[in-house]
A and B are shown apart, each in its own frame.
Chain A
Amino acid sequence: MNSTIVWMIIGMGVVTYLPRLLPFVLLGRIQLPPFWQGVLKNVPYAVLGALIIPDVFFIQDDVVFGAIGFAAAVIAAWFGANVMVVVLAAVAVLSLYSLVV
């Protein structure tokens, strides 16, 4: 293995691990004020919004492709399908779509 690449990988690993680890070190000792506890409880829903939009529409050059996958997933989830079914439904709908187009 090329040693520059290996050192780069180790460096990438360290700077990726630190943000993942630090909150457990810091927040294990202190109790946050209620307002900030509330903010941290909000984070998962806000993260999901930002992880989905706008990127889902750009999984391919054709925006329609992403939009169809998005719609399929939303409809499946809306009608109470579990996460696995939502994933399979969206993949299946897009597979059909690419067959047709």
Chain B
Amino acid sequence: MAPFRQGVQAGVAIAIGYTPIALAFGLLAKTTGLTLGETVLMSLVVFAGASQYIALSLIAAGTGALEIVLTTFILNIRHFLMSASLSEKAEPDAFWKKALYAFGITDETFSVAAMKEGTVNASYMFGLIAMAYGSWVVNSGIGHAVGASLPESLQESMAIALYAMFIGLLVPALKKQRKIVWLAGLSALFNSIGTFVLHLSKGWSIVLATLLSAVIVQWLAKEGGNGDE
């Protein structure tokens, strides 16, 4: 199958998972006082769910624009780690293509691309991101324009969708390698400690948990000679 089509197919789960979140974002943006244009512009330009939600709550609280931008930066530093990891897996492509698909790296597009067998190229990334970005932008607009999200019970059930996608990506890998159990388990533990004990912000907690776990497991694998059992 052509890489672009493969990317589109892999992006369907993300497009579905983004739908309830984007609809709710559009609706919340409307109640916060943003126009339809501003709402769609934010989804087009920022394309980062969690920080867009936080921006709305900060706008509602009367927080200044500069502080909102700074909060966004801190929350999204984790994408640095994801891009760094993906750049090791990426096939050589023209720099402008990489710069273009780098824009579309989110928790979800990264996870899907990183779990793909073999390498990823720009065509695959474009297909994957087209689905995710399209769903995010269009559904943000619909949420604002219609002024409603999905029926409440469906909206609630669909909140599991992206987590289920992460689980669906991780579990097959866990079954194959003991090392991966340690990587995921340790970072889940560290993130829980970061969240509940240290009360770190979501952005820092994920970055630190991921980095700590990835370094510790790599170090142990090196000491033990070979961690890829």
Residues of chain A touching chain B, judged by Cβ–Cβ distance below 8 Å, are 1-2, 4-13, 15-17, 19-24, 27-28, 32, 35, 37-56, 59-60, 65-66, 69-70, 72-74, 76-78, 80-87, 89-92, 94-95, 97-99
Residues of chain B touching chain A, judged by Cβ–Cβ distance below 8 Å, are 12-13, 16-17, 34-35, 37-38, 41-42, 45-48, 51-52, 55, 59, 65-66, 68-70, 72-73, 76-88, 90, 95, 98-99, 102-103, 105, 107, 110-112, 114-115, 153-154, 156-161, 163-173, 175, 179-180, 183-188, 190-192, 195-196, 205-206, 209-211, 213-215, 217-218, 221-222
Closest 8 pairs (CB-CB, A-B): A49-B184, A86-B168, A44-B114, A77-B171, A69-B160, A90-B164, A53-B188, A13-B45
Least Cβ–Cβ distance between A35 and chain B, in angstroms: 6
Q: Is the interface of B mostly helix, strand, loop or mixed?
A: helix
Q: Is the CB of B73 within 8 A of A51?
A: no
Q: Is the CB of A43 within 8 A of B85?
A: yes
Q: Is the CB of A55 within 8 A of B163?
A: yes
Least Cβ–Cβ distance between B149 and chain A, in angstroms: 15
Minimal Cβ-Cβ distance residue in A for B158: A91
Q: Is the CB of B168 within 8 A of A73?
A: yes
Q: How far is the CA of A5 from the CA of B65 in the complex (A)?
A: 8
Q: Is the CB of A19 within 8 A of B46?
A: no
- Give me 24 A-to-B residue pairs in the complex whose CB atoms sit less than 8 angstroms apart, sorted by A's number: A1-B38, A2-B38, A5-B38, A6-B41, A12-B46, A16-B47, A16-B51, A20-B83, A22-B80, A23-B80, A23-B83, A24-B102, A32-B88, A38-B218, A39-B211, A42-B179, A43-B82, A44-B110, A45-B184, A56-B167, A73-B160, A84-B12, A84-B13, A90-B161
- Evaluate whether A87 and B47 lie within 8 angstroms (CB atoms) in the complex, with A24-B102, A45-B183 already known: no
Q: Is the CB of B184 within 8 A of A46?
A: yes
What would 11 more interface pairs be, CB under 8 Å, given A12-B52, A19-B83, A28-B98? Answer: A1-B35, A38-B221, A42-B183, A43-B210, A44-B85, A44-B111, A49-B186, A50-B191, A73-B164, A86-B165, A99-B153
Q: Is the CB of A6 within 8 A of B38?
A: yes
Q: Is the CB of B13 within 8 A of A70?
A: no
Q: Is the CB of B166 within 8 A of A51?
A: yes
Q: Is the CB of B48 within 8 A of A16?
A: yes
Least Cβ–Cβ distance between A98 and chain B, in angstroms: 5
Q: Is the CB of B173 within 8 A of A16?
A: no
Q: Which of B41, B79, B153 contacts A19 (CB 8 A)?
A: B79
Q: How far is the CA of A45 from the CA of B17 in the complex (A)?
A: 20
Q: Is the CB of B72 within 8 A of A60?
A: no
Q: Is the CB of A50 within 8 A of B187?
A: yes
- Determine which residue in B17, B115, B168 has the highest number of CB atoms from chain A within 10 A of its CB, and name it: B168
Q: Which of A12, A41, A65, A87 contacts B45 (CB 8 A)?
A: A12
